[in-house]
């Protein structure tokens, strides 16, 4: 089946720095990519939807200036957490959709902000 990778799988950073997370579709072209976030003991929540070459659509309550999403190619989307703070520590997962209706999920990235 289709494979989606994320890099890095874990990252620790200092408060105030920016962190970039990559999401790649390895064997298909992803016209749409999604970013989710999981708070401890809560379900995954959709943050934003991005279509290749377009600006991302953010869910209500998600700060677009804090969580920068770029989907510059059909196989790569990036999520940049700017000026990270400890409350941004979370588990971030991307998913990708190609021509089929199925979304394929990445393995996730665990971010810890000190």
Partner 1 sequence: KQEVTQIPAALSVPEGENLVLNCSFTDSAIYNLQWFRQDPGKGLTSLLLIQSSQREQTSGRLNASLDKSSGRSTLYIAASQPGDSATYLCALRGGYQKVTFGTGTKLQVIP
**Interface with partner 1, residue 105, by CB under 8 A:** yes
**The binder of partner 1 chosen from 11, 32, 66, 82 (CB under 8 A):** 32
Instruction: Give the span between the Cα atoms of 113 and 71, in whole angstroms.
Output: 24
Single residue of 13, 44, 74, 76 touching partner 1 by CB under 8 A:
44
Total chain residues near partner 1 (CB under 8 A)? 24
Using alpha carbons only, give the angle 63, 54, 59 rounded to the nearest 5 degrees.
30
| 45 touches partner 1 by CB under 8 A | yes
Nearer to partner 1, 11 or 44 (CB): 44
Query: What is the Cα–Cα distance from 82 to 49, expressed in whole angstroms?
Result: 18
Q: Does 25 bind partner 1 (CB under 8 A)?
A: no
Among 22-30, 44-52, 60-68, 77-85, the segment contacting partner 1 (CB under 8 A): 44-52
Q: Applying CB under 8 A, which part among 15-23, 64-72, 73-81, 105-113 lies near partner 1? A: 105-113
CA distances from 110 to 8, 25, 64, 66, 94 (A): 8, 19, 20, 17, 12
Quick check: 94 and 2 in contact, CB under 8 A?
no
């Amino acid at each position: 089946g289709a494979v989606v990778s994320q890099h890095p799988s874990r990252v620790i950073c200092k408060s105030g720095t920016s962190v970039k997370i990559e999401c790649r579709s390895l064997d298909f072209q992803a016209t749409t990519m999604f970013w989710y976030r999981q708070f401890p003991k809560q379900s995954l929540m959709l943050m934003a939807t991005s279509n290749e070459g377009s600006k991302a659509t953010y869910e209500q309550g998600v700060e677009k200036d804090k969580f920068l999403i770029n989907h510059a190619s059909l196989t790569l989307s990036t999520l940049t957490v700017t000026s990270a703070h400890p409350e941004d520590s979370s588990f971030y997962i991307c998913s990708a959709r190609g021509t089929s209706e199925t979304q394929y999920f990445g393995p996730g990235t665990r971010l810890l902000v000190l």
